[in-house]
């Protein structure tokens, strides 16, 4: 499977910075002389349209960082999956730990977001992962397996979905699990998915949490890692480009 490198810009930057980054990635893509992975950029809402405008004729795709599952309505401050699709987004991050933590998002809400996105052809990137306490208590595998059960809808087509394993303690911390730990969890995710749905090998499983240019090559060489979800480093043109170039397939 062609790998995925997804940049989650979070609540960062200005319109001018977003445009500069998008233009920078576009010019690197145009000069690239090797096969590239799928590249997806996820700016904050106000910068989606300017970034989509810049990237519209390029292979780089754009995603939202979250969305409301209702099509429209009295939900002040929210943006719907329908609106994301309307402006040209192809992906949406769902269930990021920052949404679960700061916005108390439950599995039932996450599941509705996944269902609503899939209906519109917007591919959800479901984020799951354990806390440091859960990891220390030896519960990481159980937590990830139960999140898969509680967050995913009962039925879905495998190629509509991506799943990112992002241990909470690795996000923005500079700490990354060992390659063995990543591979163990990714293997479990593949196994759980195959028990659940036929064609599950089509679901890309990504790693996220303190990815940088140094650790990307080893992570991307792991057999079960189909890509990376990158936060901080995706705002740095040169380093993110190195991450993209570390893709193996």
Looking at the DSSP bridge assignments, the partners of residue 6 are 40, 229
Residue appearing with tokens 């879905």 = 156
Q: Name every residue whose Cβ is closer than 8 Å to that of residue 43 and which is 6 or more positions away in sequence.
A: 9, 13, 18, 22, 51, 62
Is 247 in contact with 36 (CB distance < 8 Å)? yes
**63 versus 122: smaller Cβ distance to ligand PGA:** 63
Residue of 163, 229, 243, 244 interacting with ligand PGA (CB under 6 A)? 229
> By CB under 6 A, what part of segment 11-40 binds ligand PGA?
none
Binding flag, residue 8, ligand PGA (CB under 6 A): yes
Nearest to 127 by CA among 104, 140, 144: 144
CB of residue 172 to ligand PGA, shortest distance in Å: 4
CB of residue 118 to ligand PGA, shortest distance in Å: 21
The mark string for 142-171 relative to ligand PGA (x by CB under 6 A, - otherwise) is ------------------------x----x
CA geometry: angle 225, 241, 127, nearest 5 deg: 40
Give the Cβ contact number of residue 163 at 10 Å.
Answer: 27
Binding flag, residue 215, ligand PGA (CB under 6 A): no
Binding flag, residue 172, ligand PGA (CB under 6 A): yes
List 98, 105, 166, 239, catalytic entry: 166
Tokens of 24: 């920078």
From residue 116, alpha-carbon distances to 13, 87, 91, 196 in Å are 29, 16, 12, 20
Quick one: which segment of 20-28, 70-78, 192-200, 203-211 binds ligand PGA (CB under 6 A)? Answer: 203-211
Binding flag, residue 225, ligand PGA (CB under 6 A): no
CB of residue 131 to ligand PGA, shortest distance in Å: 14
List 96, 130, 134, 192, catalytic entry: 96
Binding flag, residue 232, ligand PGA (CB under 6 A): yes
Is 61 a residue of the active site?
A: no
What does the DSSP 8-state code read for residue 233? G
What does the DSSP 8-state code read for residue 204? -
Q: What does R_g of the chain's alpha carbons equal in angstroms?
A: 17
Taking CB positions, which residue lies at the least distance from ligand PGA? 231
Binding flag, residue 124, ligand PGA (CB under 6 A): no
Taking the C-alpha atoms of residue 210 and residue 170, their distance in angstroms, rounded to an integer, is: 6
Is 224 a residue of the active site?
A: no
**54 versus 206: smaller Cβ distance to ligand PGA:** 206
Residue of 80, 210, 215, 247 interacting with ligand PGA (CB under 6 A)? 210
Maximum alpha-carbon separation in the chain: 48
Chain centroid to CA 101: how far? 17
Is 190 in contact with 144 (CB distance < 8 Å)? no
Residue of 110, 114, 211, 244 interacting with ligand PGA (CB under 6 A)? 211
**Binding footprint of ligand PGA on the chain (CB under 6 A):** 8, 166, 171-172, 208-211, 229-232
Catalytic machinery residues: 96, 166
């Amino acid at each position: 499977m062609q790998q995925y490198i997804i940049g989650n810009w979070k609540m960062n930057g200005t319109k001018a910075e977003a445009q500069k980054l998008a233009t920078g990635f576009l010019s690197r893509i145009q000069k690239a002389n090797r096969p590239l992975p799928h590249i997806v950029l996820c700016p904050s809402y106000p910068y989606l349209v300017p970034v989509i405008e810049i990237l519209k004729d390029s292979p780089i795709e754009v995603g939202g960082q979250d969305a409301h599952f209702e099509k429209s309505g009295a939900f002040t401050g929210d943006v719907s999956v329908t609106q994301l699709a309307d402006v040209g987004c192809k992906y949406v991050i769902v269930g990021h730990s920052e949404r679960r933590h700061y916005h108390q998002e439950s599995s039932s809400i996450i599941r509705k977001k996944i269902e609503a996105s899939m209906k519109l052809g917007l591919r959800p990137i479901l984020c799951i992962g354990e806390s440091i306490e859960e990891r220390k208590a030896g519960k990481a595998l159980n937590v990830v397996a139960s999140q898969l059960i509680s967050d995913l809808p009962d039925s879905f087509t495998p190629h509509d979905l991506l799943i990112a394993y992002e241990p909470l303690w690795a996000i923005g911390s500079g700490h990354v699990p060992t390659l063995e730990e990543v591979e163990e969890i990714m293997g479990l995710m593949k196994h759980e998915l195959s028990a659940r749905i036929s064609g599950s090998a089509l679901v890309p499983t990504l790693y996220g949490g303190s990815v940088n240019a140094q650790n990307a090559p080893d992570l991307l060489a792991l057999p079960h890692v189909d890509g990376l979800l990158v936060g901080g480093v995706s705002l740095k043109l040169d380093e993110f480009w190195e991450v993209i170039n570390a893709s193996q397939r």
